[in-house]
């Protein structure tokens, strides 16, 4: 039997954590309820007491918990981010996921026994960058940016001596992760510092000329005809008029689904598979995690990977294999 890929699943709430574990997650990843993680939305994330309870629930059922501390500390105010590292260690997290180089240095010095993973927000997309983090800070795993093709992932894994984790399902980010400034131009809040992309306080939906118009920070992001599915207004997935045509200039709202590519990812040397979706509810978590559990188990047995129908829970009800199968490079 081939070694199974580790299934790393999202939890935005304690209820979602339990749903992920019950559906077969090997690992649940989550964040504290503050700006130290990149999903800092109202109603999401964990208090310290909730994390303690979540750790107990997961560990009792053989699952691990990784704490995401993947935003960048404000200049002169590293306290909240260091406190998050300290508390994750004290509570018994199985690993922390870090993006900021200074915070990674702090974690390595203050808690050398705590397993450290490199967040996708660090945008380490080549062997030299990953080796630097490994040698300087003892990183055990790197979460790879969603800009690498399958041959590039395989080549990278041949050159590094640490684990790699890749995204296989959920929302896609445009360009290189950790470099997003688009939404901050219209809201004044940076996803890399405030931990929030398209903050809800800046979102508006209004009926206008028989259309549903979505706005962010006072700017029109999209307009939907009657019966057309309306997405959440993020600037990178907005539909704008350019050259006389209304179209998605940066990226269309569609979801990554690489479930059919698990054998190729195994052959490429990947250690873990990441499902995106800490903003999604329990129904999404249960359905997607269970589907990938079946797929991962089948792939490890050398069996045909079941073709799960997850279109109903994808963004825009459309799916893509992302850059994994791109040939234009």
Distances, alpha carbon 200 to alpha carbons 157, 203, 210, in Å: 39, 5, 24
- pLDDT at residue 230, rounded to an integer: 82
Are 142 and 165 a contacting pair, CB within 8 Å?
A: yes
**Given pLDDT bands bounded at 50, 70 and 90, which one contains residue 178?**
low
**Under CATH, which number does the domain 6-172+254-325 receive?**
3.20.20.70
Give residues with Cβ within 8 angstroms of 321, minimum separation 6.
Answer: 256, 257, 258, 260, 261
Q: What stretch of H or E contains 167?
A: strand 163-171
**Cβ count within 10 A of residue 182:** 19
**What would the pLDDT profile of 45-95 be if each residue is shown by its tens digit?**
999 999 999 999 999 999 999 999 999 999 999 999 999 999 999 999 999
Pick the range with the lowest mean pLDDT from 42-56, 76-90, 265-279, 295-309.
295-309
Residue 6, classed as helix, strand or coil, is: strand
pLDDT at 276 over 60: yes
- pLDDT at residue 2, rounded to an integer: 64
Give residues with Cβ within 8 angstroms of 67, minimum separation 6.
Answer: 29, 30, 31, 32, 51, 84, 88, 93, 95, 96, 97
Rg (CA), the chain: 20
Domain ranges of the chain: 6-172+254-325, 199-248
Query: What's the mean pLDDT in 266-283?
Result: 94
**What would the pLDDT profile of 108-162 be if each residue is shown by its tens digit?**
999 999 999 999 989 899 999 999 999 999 999 999 988 899 999 999 999 999 9
d(C-alpha 322, C-alpha 147), whole Å: 8
Query: What's the mean pLDDT in 259-266?
Result: 94
Burial of 57 (0-12, 13-18, 19+ CB in 10 A): middle
- pLDDT at residue 233, rounded to an integer: 86
Does residue 198 or residue 72 have the better pLDDT? 72
DSSP 109-123: HH-TTS-EEE-GGG-
CA-based angle 26:306:323, to the nearest 5?
75
d(C-alpha 238, C-alpha 242), whole Å: 12
**Given pLDDT bands bounded at 50, 70 and 90, which one contains residue 329?**
very low
d(C-alpha 98, C-alpha 91), whole Å: 17
Q: Give the pTM.
A: 0.89
Length reported for the chain? 329
Pick the range with the lowest mean pLDDT from 47-51, 168-172, 281-285.
168-172
**Given pLDDT bands bounded at 50, 70 and 90, which one contains residue 317?**
low
pLDDT cut 90: percent of the chain above it:
65
**What would the pLDDT profile of 216-228 be if each residue is shown by its tens digit?**
988 999 999 988 8
pLDDT at 304 over 50: yes
d(C-alpha 259, C-alpha 278), whole Å: 19
Does residue 96 or residue 175 have the better pLDDT? 96
Closest to 17 (Cα-Cα) out of 59, 74, 79 = 59
Residue 311, classed as helix, strand or coil, is: helix
d(C-alpha 307, C-alpha 158), whole Å: 29
Cα-based torsion angle of the residue sequence 219, 222, 224, 230 in order, rounded to the nearest 10 degrees: -100
DSSP 55-79: HHHHHHTT-EEEEEE-S-PBTTB-H
Token pair of 173 as six digits: 């980010």
Token pair of 118 as six digits: 């490199």
d(C-alpha 124, C-alpha 118), whole Å: 8
Query: What's the mean pLDDT in 230-235?
Result: 84
d(C-alpha 116, C-alpha 256), whole Å: 26
- pLDDT at residue 185, rounded to an integer: 84
Mean of the per-residue pLDDT values of the chain: 90
Token pair of 63 as six digits: 């699952």
Q: 130-158 burial by CB neighbour count: b if 16+ within 10 A, else e?
A: bbebbeebebebbbbbbbbbbebbbebbe
């Amino acid at each position: 039997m081939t070694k199974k890929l580790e299934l790393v699943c999202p939890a935005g709430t304690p209820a979602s954590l339990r749903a992920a574990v019950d559906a077969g997650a090997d690992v649940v990843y989550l964040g504290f309820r503050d700006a130290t993680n990149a999903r800092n939305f109202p109603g999401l994330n964990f208090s310290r007491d909730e994390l303690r309870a979540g750790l107990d629930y997961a560990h009792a059922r053989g699952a691990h918990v990784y704490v995401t501390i993947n935003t960048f500390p404000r200049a002169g105010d590293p306290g909240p981010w260091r406190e998050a590292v300290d508390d994750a260690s004290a509570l018994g997290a199985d690993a922390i996921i870090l993006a900021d180089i200074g915070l990674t240095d702090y974690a390595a010095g203050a808690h050398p026994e705590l397993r450290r993973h490199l967040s996708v927000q660090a945008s380490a997309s080549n062997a030299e960058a990953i080796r630097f983090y490994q040698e300087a800070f003892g990183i055990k795993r790197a979460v790879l940016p969603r800009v690498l093709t399958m041959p590039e992932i395989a080549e990278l894994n041949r050159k590094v001596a640490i684990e790699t984790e890749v995204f296989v399902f959920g929302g896609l980010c445009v360009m290189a992760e950790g470099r997003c400034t688009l939404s901050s131009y219209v809201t004044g809040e940076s996803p890399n510092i405030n931990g929030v992309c398209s903050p809800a306080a800046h979102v508006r939906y209004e009926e206008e000329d028989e259309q549903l118009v979505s706005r962010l920070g006072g700017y029109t992001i999209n307009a939907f005809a009657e019966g057309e599915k309306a997405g959440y207004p993020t600037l990178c997935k907005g539909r704008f008029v350019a050259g006389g045509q209304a179209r998605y200039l940066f990226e269309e709202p569609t979801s990554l689904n690489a479930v059919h590519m698990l054998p190729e990812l195994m052959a490429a040397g990947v250690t873990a598979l990441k499902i995106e979706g800490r903003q999604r509810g329990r129904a999404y978590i249960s359905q997607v995690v269970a589907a990938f559990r079946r797929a991962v188990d089948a792939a490890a047995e050398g069996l045909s990977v079941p073709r799960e129908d997850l279109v109903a829970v994808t963004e825009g009800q459309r799916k893509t294999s992302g850059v994994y199968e791109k040939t234009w490079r």
